[in-house]
Amino acid sequence: MPASATGDPSATATSEGLVRRLRDRFGQLIHEFGKFGVVGGIAFVIDIALFNVAASVFDLGPLTAKTLSTVVAASFAFVGNRFWTWRHRARSGLAREYGLYFFFNAVGLGIGLACLAISHYGLGSIWPTVFRTLLADNIAANVIGVMLGTLFRFWSYRRFVFIAAAPAAVAAATAEGD
DSSP 26-74: HHHHHHHHHHHHHHHHHHHHHHHHHHHIIIIIS---HHHHHHHHHHHHH
Q: In the chain, which stretches have pLDDT less than 70?
A: 1-13, 165-178
The pLDDT of residue 122: 94
The pLDDT of residue 42: 96
How do the domains of the chain map onto residue ranges? Answer: 29-176
Evaluate whether 62 touches 121 at the Cβ level (below 8 Å): no
The pLDDT of residue 54: 94
Inter-axis angle of helices 9-52 and 167-176, to 10 degrees?
90
The pLDDT of residue 178: 53
